[in-house]
Amino acid sequence: MTDLYKRCSLCPRECKVNRNTNAGFCGESAVINVTRAALHMWEEPCISGSVGSGTVFFRGCSLKCIYCQNYSIAHNKGGKYLTTEDLAKAFLNLQEKGAHNINLVTPTHFVPHIIEGVKMAKEQGLSIPVVYNTSGYEKRETIALLNGTVDVFLTDFKYIKKETAKKYSAAENYIDYAKEALAEMVKIAPIPLFEKGLMKKGVIVRVLLLPDHLIETKMIVKYLYDTYGDSIYISLMNQYTPIRKHNYENLNRTVTDYEYKSLINYALHLGVKNAFIQQGETAKESFIPSFDLTGI
């Protein structure tokens, strides 16, 4: 499966780079690079539970949004190179610490290694669910490879207007790919399954409200509910944090209470039942973990 790195087209960028010798658009070679592997309490309640989600943060990204909350690692700062055996060991260590799941954060560009690493870890006793935590900028074919490896898809749906996707992520084709990828995720995990309040199987779609983008965000929620109804969970997020200065002034502030309450009320009006909302002050840098090689 690592042959997929030779002319890489794992993500919609399809840079066709031989990542055995060079870095792709994602900024990474074919060697696994991880910046943190630790328990994390700030995911949705059915993911974090009472002990924490076993998050593994991969370096690099195929989308590279200008407002990324994990900007440093998305732009290839820090990290430690691992073998597939190291990755499997990290999964098992997290399980030993009581993690409710293995949470793969920004994993797209390392999918071949992840499939091998999960298989290796399962052969050594890994028994907790595997969560695929992604920007949503995925190829349907890559998601299909994860059938049998991933149990829960935790995906963003960032845009529904091409001009917004182009402006903030240089990915005018985001919408088409996100729709196709989400359809494949639901095909793999069509029915949400819970045990003692923890999601064991299913799809959660995160919708991050950006400042001055209330109308577009409502359009996203409507598309999701009209298309999938209650077969998915929708996570309405107000945690946008301006961690660096932007040329777009709207991105230099957090969302207002009015914007977020309007979004929640709209979802309720549509009839959305399976949803998560955020309360309190979530737009803080303290909610962003330190990418200090913890756990690796």
Residue 282 burial by CB count (10 A; 0-12/13-18/19+): exposed, middle or buried?
middle
User: For residues 263 and 217, what is the distance between their CA atoms, to the nearest angstrom?
Assistant: 8
User: Quick one: pLDDT at residue 216?
Assistant: 98
CA distances from 253 to 63, 185, 194 (A): 22, 33, 36
CA distances from 153 to 85, 182, 215, 234, 246 (A): 24, 9, 26, 12, 31
* Tokens coding 84: 């597939």
User: Quick one: pLDDT at residue 68?
Assistant: 94
Residue-range domain boundaries for the chain = 2-287
User: Quick one: pLDDT at residue 236?
Assistant: 98
User: For residues 174 and 60, what is the distance between their CA atoms, to the nearest angstrom?
Assistant: 18
Asked if residue 218 lies in contact with residue 234, where contact means CB atoms within 8 angstroms, the answer is no
- The stretches in the chain having pLDDT less than 70 are 280-287
User: For residues 116 and 88, what is the distance between their CA atoms, to the nearest angstrom?
Assistant: 8
CA distances from 243 to 127, 155, 184 (A): 37, 22, 33
User: Quick one: pLDDT at residue 281?
Assistant: 63
User: Quick one: pLDDT at residue 272?
Assistant: 98
CATH class of 2-287: alpha beta
User: Quick one: pLDDT at residue 284?
Assistant: 56
User: Quick one: pLDDT at residue 290?
Assistant: 86
Q: How far apart are the first and last CA of the chain?
A: 24
Please work out, in degrees rounded to the nearest 5, the angle formed at the alpha carbon of residue 106 by the alpha carbons of 266 and 276: 25
| Cβ contacts of 245-249, under 8 Å, gap ≥ 24 | 246/66, 246/67, 248/167, 248/168
pLDDT digits (tens, 9 = 90+) for 206-238: 999 999 999 999 999 999 999 999 999 999 999
